[in-house]
Structure 1
Amino acid sequence: MFGTPLRCDAASASSVLSVVTTTLRVVSYERLASSVQNPLAVLWGKSAGKGGGRSNLLLQHLLDTAAVAELMWDHYLAPSVRQMLDGVAGDGGGRRLFAWLCGIHDFGKATPAFQHMDAAGAARVLAAGLTWDQRTVERYRNRWRHDRAGGALMRRYLKEVGWSEESIGWVWPLIAGHHGLFPTLGKAREPERARGHLSGKAVAWDEARRALLDAFTRAVGFHDVATAEPLGSPSRAAQLQLSGFVVMADWIASDQRHFAGVDEFGQVSLRGARARAGTAWGRLGLRGGWGALGEPEGSVFEQRFGDDPRPSQAMVVDVVSRMEAPGLVVVEAPMGEGKTKAALVAAEALAARWGMDGVFVGMPTQATCDPMFTNVRSWVEAISPSLASQVALLHGKRLFNKQWQDLLEDPAPDDRFIGVAEDEFDLADPYGIASGSCCPEAAAERRAPAEWFLGAKRGLLTPFVVGTIDQLLFAATRTKHVMLRMAGLAGKVVILDEVHAADVYMSQFLAEGLRWLGQARVPVVLLSATLPPAQRRELVAAYLAGAGDHQEQAASEAATVREPVGYPNVTVVWRTTTLIGHLVESGRSWREDLQVGVEILPEPVSATSSTADDLCAGDAEVLSLLRDRLAEGGCALVIRNTVRRAQDTFTALHAEFGDEVRLLHGRLSASDRADRTEECLRALGPPQPRGSGRPARRIVVATQLAEQSFDVDADLLVTDLAPMDLLLQRIGRTHRHSGVHRPGPVSEPRVVVTGFFPRDGAPPELPGAAEAIYGRYLLLRTAAQVCAAEGERWSIPGQVPRLVADVYGPDQYSVPSNWAEAERRARADWEIRQRARAESAEPFLLTRAGEHTRRTLEGLHSGGVSQNLSEEHHQAVVRDGDRSIEVVLVRRDDRGFRALSGRSLGTQGEASRDVLEDVLGGTVRLPAKLTEAAEAELGPLAGWRDHPWLRYSFALPLDASGVACLGEYTLCYDSLLGLVVKEPRR
């Protein structure tokens, strides 16, 4: 296959290789291809089993990857990223440097530790005179993988040709970390006991590697390796993003369907690599976003949304236009003010000015992502119709979004990205293709937008993304392949909605993400209706800390930023090489303040209850209240703090109001939750043309799902007590739109606060469930404000900043004097808990304490790393909750299995394509207390084990009566109530 192999001893091989190396320095790469046998003709990069039946020579794989990188530069990378790399390379040489950095990633495969792993390939390498001690190599090979070997060896060869320590310092981790983890230099070195065996003791091995490095470097356009040295160093954040692009290029170039093996050295060429890469790129349908987006002209709001901007929206866009560098934008405006539209237009302006290529919009929950996905697609389409298909919805329930389903198309079998074959060294399936960490949609979901982007860990690489804020938080965790997530944020404008919803634990990851984004010069727009001042300062400090060189100065720098004095308001900060700039402006809302009446519906706390939901039954009082207030019709929203309370309240109200009551909470099946959410938004959303859609009377009972980014308009709100910012969010669901007919008893906005029991001369009674969720301290301070306002009115949104500051501010005298001692104790407990929760996040943060000022990626993953986490594990990491899992409910009877919807499955649960949606529609999340039992007792049905979407699912079979036992608990799924969990008898 390779001609007559050279058979010579080590000395002869060294001599031959010296000739080859000399030839490489004076003869073109193309002429070398037809010359005598040389080590480049035998060193393999992909075995025949991983190369479509033919091995792929190592040099060819490096060239394939470089060719993919060139296409990424031309058709994918944002202008801002290209500009950064041009500056690093010097003389506008960013494209060539980028191709070199991506292609050289597998340099470490030119070692006995790797080359011995395929018998056929090893035989040819040995025959060429590159030898090793088989026993030693086999014994120690797992101690020195080719990624680490490449980084360590590259240090030596780059130093030999005169590269500076600074350049070597940031380049070698890109090679050593291309399988997802960045080692320390000590970990990257060849193990002492096998020194020389794994890398190859003979001079011939060094010469072979020098020949490989020289040949590849010349092929991509450099005169020699010395001249490939960049003139500058990118920031650490830019290095992390660049590392993600290296992985992206490698994964694409490792797809054997498009890059079959090339085992004849005479056929190895960059020209051939470019042809293969071009075919793969086209078939995969990969593309970037806007490219160089022109600054919008004329009435942008009219062009994008069909309306003139409101005063606060115009203020945001005006302030953003005066920024002198990419930075952080914080928009605080009332619920229903139109913050999202302002953020999108601001993102468009930021993208045009600073060379951004797309957006990531992060929402607090999966439910809030769906309507935002529709809005973002419409906005992108208004800018460029051809790009509407490049918007991805990124959350675990996207299959139940009707619009997302409609966008999926059957891919041609030859065009589908199969994935990257397991390389012969890393037995942990680094690409997530064969393991349970793989996103099942990568194998079976239709294109929307390009199927390659839909696989595990790759979603953020899509040009335009709408997903939960968790996607950003994941990018701030010390997890394997975190560089892919951070690369997905490179060159994008990041918009995060409802940032006040991040508690102290989540805020650690949010702040970490802002540090990295600030350093990468990624513009960020934060939106909130009720942001506590201290939280705003912390977010500003985090971004400035990343954008600067001195982390310790960030807090003092943030303190120099003026506090807003009005509402709505916008705060922008940025950092140039010489100064920190900021602008703070306030405006007026588009509508007059609502005068919201405040009432209290006391609910005593049971002294004998043994459960967390220890309130006495207050549903009778709520029923009586609604019977009276809705006598003439109208729509009410009842928000409970726990699922159990919501279910109990719904049961009581349904008995009287029947089908006029709806229930919405997190333990509904995926299909029921999607259908009910859509119905609620349709019935109680913005007024429809010709006045259609709004029911004469409707009651929605919900949990915190209805708290934010849920565009319903209720005439009356009944809510459990919650911290003030969240209580105000709930109030934002009432009298939200103008032009809505409201019957007399509910014609004026009113909030009825229940779920606690005020007492004369003493602090109120608070339920244990609410304290467990929110903490006693904030509930006490909020209760004080509610009690003080009873019978009065809050001016909303005008009073929002003051109400939030009164609860979250440092003032210790905002509660009645006879509550002071209870508040003092609650505050002390709260502060201890806050510190503990913040500290508990540290082990998972991408950067360890004290290491934010490091200059390179060396050792980023040292000290522990969470690898290949499922979405449930990731959520538990970034949200500080007890880990919970989802199960798929099925029904089992004498005839076999049925989906929750009733459609029949096979006798072993086999699911054909036409019933798959019904099966997945039965997915429901279990309470965290059932996680351990579920993992111990549940698994996929026998008929699911070979199914690409179901083989990793936990099936929970319900008997003929709809009941199942799990651990000590009895569960049933009720068509009205959702999943009902009965406590074990004690």
Structure 2
Amino acid sequence: MGALWGKSAERAGGRKNLLLSHLLDTAAVAERMWDGFLAPSTRLVLDDIAGGPGKGRGFFAWLCGVHDYGKATPAFQRMWPEGAEAVRKAGLTWSDHLISRKPWRHDRAGAHLLCRDLSEAGWTEERIDWLWPLVAGHHGRFPSRRDIKPTSRAKGHLVGLGPWPVAQRALLTRFTAELGFEDVATPAPAGMPNRAVQLHLSGLIVMADWIASDEKHFGGVDDLRAVTFEAARGRAEKAWSALGMHRGWGSRAPVEPEAFQDRFGQAPRPSQTMVVEAARRMTVPGLLVVEAPMGEGKTKAALLAAEILAARFGADGVFVGMPTQATSDPMFGQVREWLGGIDEELPSRVALLHGKRMFNPEWRALVEGSEESDASRFGGVDEYGECPEDDPYGFGPEDRGDGTPSSSPGAGARGPAEWFLGAKRGLLCPFVVGTIDQLLLAATRTKHVMLRMAGLMGKVVVLDEVHAADVYMSQFLMEGLRWLGQAGVPVVLLSATLPPRQRQDLVSSYLAGALSREEYTADGLPEPGGYPSVTAAWPSARPEGTRGTEEVPEPRYLVEHSAGWRADLPVALDLLPEAVPPPHARREDREAAEEAAARSVADLLERELVDGGCALVIRNSVARAQRLHELLRGRYREKGEVHLLHGRLAVRDRADRTGECLRLLGPAGVEGAKPRPRRMILVATQLAEQSFDVDADLLVTDLAPVDLLLQRIGRSHRHAGVRRPARLAAPRVVVTGVDAVGSEPPRFPGASEGVYGRYPLLRSAALVRRAIEGSRDGSGDTAWRVPSQVPELVAAGYDPSDDSLPPAWREVAEAARRRWEDTERKRADRAAGSLLTRRGDREGSTLAGLHVAGRAESGGDATVEWLVRDGDPTVEVIVVVREGGVLHTLSGRALSVNGDVPDELLEDLLGGTVRLPSSLTEAAMEELRPLPAWFGHARLRYCPALVLDHGRGTALGKYEVDYDEELGLRQRVLTAG
């Protein structure tokens, strides 16, 4: 035991660390986590697993500490020559010839040894079966039972012959005794937790291991006499303090009725009271689905509901998931303000999670002075973007990449502890705001998925704009809800426009997890009787004395609606048809049609804004938006009247323009608000569709599926007290992007059909037609009543039995429906290959084999988008401009002669990051590389550069690419010759 090493001298501060020392260090860190990090709900579950109140802490420490038991094998001990020699001298030998070419990872070896030794100690097979995968998976993947066995060709030398079994059991016995247990049989759990709880515990084991592997705080101890649990506790306490680790809000007192007024400075609206009361009435953790119009105050209601649910069910923090990076930024500030009303220390514990967070000034100010920018510390990847496996010295690249490195400082200046800023750790921070991708990736069969899911469990999860998830993303969303339901995590879903089928699917997924069933359909779920509404679903409370493996009664539902905050607005619909060429038209004809369509919109705006006013035009593609803006800027010479916002702008340009639009057209209280302009036109893509709080006097929009069309309508006449020109005093929407909505089936531009599919567009066009025809002949509705009519319209837009389609359209629509459903089914099947659990395996009792045959294996933060968002992969590049042989940032600041980037220019350079369209991906991957001077730079070494000439253009593949100061990135097919 005094010879077995756990960390080599090179990886333990210059002196080897004995294996027993590392096991005790990890157990001591687990105690610190229990005392200062674990949610009350997690501690209660651990107490229950361990056999009663007060027993969970010791069991958790033992469980975390035993993770590296597999290092007590020849397969591991031979890997560091100096350590191997000492082990041989102690009488523990092996045949190098038999094991040198038969690697056996220590995580799998540990599982194998525990299966053997725990059985001999009297543990039941059921207890062993759920525990060994937690040890086998502590480096990120869960193997099957057969995969943990050593190859028979090594003839026992991998696991150890002769005195090896005695030494191994002595180590396990000594470790167990140091923790205060009588023998190895004593820590045996009393129960078997469900699989979601097992995944949670697995993530916590990884967290404890990574912290205990920090050589700065846990250096080498090579004298067995100095190895005690008390010494390990002292090291762990100092490390915990130095790292600045903290929990969320801990145990909460019940939330008082007046809390809404206290938190937000206003009395709750009826819909907000409805949501809050629904949270109070849930008897166990469950799901809340909040449906309310844009501007109703769903977010504030959800945050207070989260506070109530956390207090009632022992959650220690909140994750708020948003549809995009752009919507995450303002929510970050809102969550910090809310938490500040609870405790002035809490805002500093909020993490922002998305790839462009360093462009958020509030986040930058929080982490100023930290080393987040050092990818060598927090990237956790090698040159291939993958976490490597163990190296021969016991503290391998896997540990160096994902564990806290020796250079790790303590907490950031004013923000979350820096430990939480590392790769795959962000969700472990007590309070998190980020893109919904963070939750979606936690539902994938990827390496270290247990860390991500552990970061969600023990929190209340709030997801905004859930209707924005397409069929591909929805597979991951529903898989995540299954795991959260099984773990007993309270979840709040927010949406303005949710089709009934989607609502039922979301509830069914959560309940399938809560009831531990392969599939569950919430057939008894009532439909809301009005709008706004709340739908609550939760499993019935378990009878007294029952455990997690017993069947639970059927779920309970609470479905209510309330009056809206403001009266209905009658939104008049009009049509501006455009000539749509047939699908196989010549490129010249298509371009001519697009030019004519842009002119018709420009002419309309010229007429409608003759007396002033602010118009929002939403186009379904970047190219359509750029074409219209180019035409408009030729007509409106006055500076500041025409604005453009889309996804192919450099990140700084996009952030600046978004902020400027919010200051001009946003609510009166927005920071830096400016006087509303006399006349303004904002041309945008779908970026303006959700969580974009601007108010337009007139909306012109390409046709979209009806739920998204209603989202766009939510940007029109949104704010009270706005003075508008007389001709725009009533809300009006002009729909374009369709050739006609008459008796014959309409055609749509290829860009629209490519994004949404023909069938949803046909159903939306039929609803628009019905409103327009009714206004002409007086036979029907002359306007859409928003918001009260929203549920009815959304339901009609997705219900094949609805009769709104004209008879002449039905044959074409039926064929389109079959194609659309087939496409949707294929997209769902494509996602299924990466889901955390496979079909038929959702009632599994352990984590064994969870990663077997996993297609998605990397799981790095940088690969989130391609994995959980469907579509062709895209590439981000940094745009630089070559002028007179010298490279400049996109904003015009000169770099060094060799392209080196001084520190003061780094943020300016990164501000020129732009995402290329998918049509350029292949060429970009073949032709673009980081600049030579960037290869040694932590934040730039993986960033390809797009070098433009003095005219701001270049050739890329078969395209000519340029970056226009106003239009952003453009591409054209290179002409022959």
**Under a length normalisation based on structure 2, what TM-score does the superposition of the two structures give?**
0.93
SS across alignment from 2:460: strand
Instruction: Tell me how far apart the structure 2 counterparts of residues 567 and 312 of structure 1 sit (CA, whole Å).
Output: 9
Match of 2:573 in 1: 598
2:645 to 657, 660, 664: 664
1:873 positional shift: 3.2
Q: Do 2:485 and 2:512's aligned partners in 1 also have CA atoms closer than 8 Å? A: yes
1:955 positional shift: 1.2
1:970-985 alignment runs, 5 A limit:
970-985=960-975
Paired residue type of 2:803 = Y
2:30 to 69, 94, 98: 69
Question: How many percent identity over aligned positions?
Answer: 56
SS across alignment from 2:341: helix
Q: Do 2:244 and 2:411's aligned partners in 1 also have CA atoms closer than 8 Å? A: no
Per-residue CA shift, 1:304-348, capped at 9, x if unaligned? 111111110000101111001000000010111110111000000
Q: Do 1:759 and 1:765's aligned partners in 2 also have CA atoms closer than 8 Å? A: no
Structure 2 residue 612 is matched with structure 1 residue 644: no
Structure 2 CA distance for partners of 1:350 and 1:759, relative to 1, 3 Å: closer
Q: Do 1:884 and 1:927's aligned partners in 2 also have CA atoms closer than 8 Å? A: yes
1:71 positional shift: 0.7
1:896-915 alignment runs, 5 A limit:
896-915=886-905
Structure 2 residue 501 is matched with structure 1 residue 540: no
Match of 1:705 in 2: 687
Per-residue CA shift, 1:650-681, capped at 9, x if unaligned? 11111122421111111110111111111111
Match of 1:959 in 2: 949
Instruction: Tell me how far apart the structure 2 counterparts of residues 691 and 462 of structure 1 sit (CA, whole Å).
Output: 33
Higher mean C-alpha displacement, 486-495 vs 859-868: 859-868
SS across alignment from 1:478: coil
Paired residue type of 1:181 = R
SS across alignment from 1:573: strand
1:166 positional shift: 1.0
Paired residue type of 2:579 = P
Number of residues of Structure 1 aligned to a counterpart in Structure 2 = 938
Structure 2 residue 128 is matched with structure 1 residue 164: no
Q: Do 2:29 and 2:211's aligned partners in 1 also have CA atoms closer than 8 Å? A: yes
Instruction: Tell me how far apart the structure 1 counterparts of residues 408 and 91 of structure 2 sit (CA, whole Å).
Output: 46
Per-residue CA shift, 1:848-903, capped at 9, x if unaligned? 11000000000000012423245453212211111111111111233432211112
Q: Do 1:480 and 1:865's aligned partners in 2 also have CA atoms closer than 8 Å? A: no
1:587 to 544, 551, 562: 562
Q: Do 2:5 and 2:16's aligned partners in 1 also have CA atoms closer than 8 Å? A: yes
Match of 1:24 in 2: none
Match of 2:51 in 1: 90
Structure 2 residue 348 is matched with structure 1 residue 371: no
1:300 positional shift: 1.5
1:610 to 575, 587, 606: 587
Match of 2:736 in 1: 754
Q: Do 2:121 and 2:184's aligned partners in 1 also have CA atoms closer than 8 Å? A: yes
Match of 2:788 in 1: 798
1:693 positional shift: 3.1
Per-residue CA shift, 1:432-455, capped at 9, x if unaligned? 7299x99x9999997631111111
Structure 2 CA distance for partners of 1:417 and 1:288, relative to 1, 3 Å: farther
Paired residue type of 1:887 = V
Structure 2 residue 726 is matched with structure 1 residue 764: no
Match of 1:15 in 2: none
Match of 1:25 in 2: none
Higher mean C-alpha displacement, 461-470 vs 289-298: 289-298
Q: Do 1:329 and 1:525's aligned partners in 2 also have CA atoms closer than 8 Å? A: yes
Instruction: Tell me how far apart the structure 1 counterparts of residues 856 and 35 of structure 2 sit (CA, whole Å).
Output: 34
2:938 to 928, 941, 948: 948
Match of 2:471 in 1: 504
Match of 2:857 in 1: 867
Structure 2 residue 434 is matched with structure 1 residue 467: yes
Instruction: Tell me how far apart the structure 2 counterparts of residues 342 and 561 of structure 1 sit (CA, whole Å).
Output: 22
Match of 1:35 in 2: none
Match of 2:532 in 1: 568
Instruction: Tell me how far apart the structure 1 counterparts of residues 185 and 833 of structure 2 sit (CA, whole Å).
Output: 40
Match of 2:914 in 1: 924
Q: Do 1:669 and 1:922's aligned partners in 2 also have CA atoms closer than 8 Å? A: yes
SS across alignment from 2:681: strand
SS across alignment from 2:494: strand
1:694 positional shift: 2.0
Match of 2:383 in 1: none
2:195 to 230, 233, 236: 236
Instruction: Tell me how far apart the structure 2 counterparts of residues 86 and 816 of structure 1 sit (CA, whole Å).
Output: 63
Structure 2 residue 109 is matched with structure 1 residue 128: no
Q: Do 2:648 and 2:915's aligned partners in 1 also have CA atoms closer than 8 Å? A: yes
Paired residue type of 1:597 = A
1:464 positional shift: 0.6
Q: Do 1:314 and 1:342's aligned partners in 2 also have CA atoms closer than 8 Å? A: yes
Paired residue type of 2:68 = D
Paired residue type of 2:205 = V
Structure 2 CA distance for partners of 1:328 and 1:110, relative to 1, 3 Å: same
Paired residue type of 2:503 = R
Paired residue type of 1:824 = E
Instruction: Tell me how far apart the structure 2 counterparts of residues 938 and 276 of structure 1 sit (CA, whole Å).
Output: 48
Per-residue CA shift, 1:916-948, capped at 9, x if unaligned? 101111110011121122112112111111111
1:985 positional shift: 3.5
Structure 2 residue 450 is matched with structure 1 residue 486: no
Structure 2 CA distance for partners of 1:522 and 1:443, relative to 1, 3 Å: same
Match of 1:145 in 2: 105
Match of 1:300 in 2: 259
Higher mean C-alpha displacement, 66-75 vs 788-797: 788-797
Instruction: Tell me how far apart the structure 2 counterparts of residues 733 and 956 of structure 1 sit (CA, whole Å).
Output: 35
Structure 2 CA distance for partners of 1:416 and 1:807, relative to 1, 3 Å: closer
Instruction: Tell me how far apart the structure 2 counterparts of residues 616 and 890 of structure 1 sit (CA, whole Å).
Output: 31
Structure 2 unmatched runs, 5+:
381-387, 543-552, 776-781
SS across alignment from 2:971: strand
Match of 1:559 in 2: 523
Structure 1 unmatched runs, 5+:
1-39
1:74 positional shift: 0.6
1:431 positional shift: 4.9
Structure 2 CA distance for partners of 1:441 and 1:397, relative to 1, 3 Å: farther
1:607-756 alignment runs, 5 A limit:
607=582, 608-610=585-587, 615=594, 617-658=596-637, 659-688=640-669, 692-756=674-738
Structure 2 CA distance for partners of 1:315 and 1:644, relative to 1, 3 Å: same
Paired residue type of 1:224 = D
Structure 2 residue 469 is matched with structure 1 residue 519: no
1:106-121 alignment runs, 5 A limit:
106-121=68-83
1:379-458 alignment runs, 5 A limit:
379-411=338-370, 418=377, 423-425=390-392, 429-431=397-399, 433=401, 448-458=415-425
Per-residue CA shift, 1:829-855, capped at 9, x if unaligned? 111111111111111000011000000
Instruction: Tell me how far apart the structure 2 counterparts of residues 740 and 181 of structure 1 sit (CA, whole Å).
Output: 56
Structure 2 residue 745 is matched with structure 1 residue 775: no
Q: Do 1:46 and 1:58's aligned partners in 2 also have CA atoms closer than 8 Å? A: yes
Per-residue CA shift, 1:558-591, capped at 9, x if unaligned? 1111111111100000013334111000111010
1:156-235 alignment runs, 5 A limit:
156-202=116-162, 204-235=163-194
Instruction: Tell me how far apart the structure 2 counterparts of residues 67 and 710 of structure 1 sit (CA, whole Å).
Output: 47
Higher mean C-alpha displacement, 394-403 vs 608-617: 608-617
Paired residue type of 1:678 = G
CA RMSD for the aligned pairs?
A: 2.3
1:418 positional shift: 4.9
Paired residue type of 1:764 = P
SS across alignment from 1:457: coil
Q: Do 2:98 and 2:153's aligned partners in 1 also have CA atoms closer than 8 Å? A: no
Q: Do 1:444 and 1:948's aligned partners in 2 also have CA atoms closer than 8 Å? A: no
1:550 positional shift: 2.8
Higher mean C-alpha displacement, 903-912 vs 843-852: 903-912
Match of 2:385 in 1: none
Instruction: Tell me how far apart the structure 2 counterparts of residues 649 and 315 of structure 1 sit (CA, whole Å).
Output: 44
SS across alignment from 2:345: helix
Paired residue type of 1:63 = L
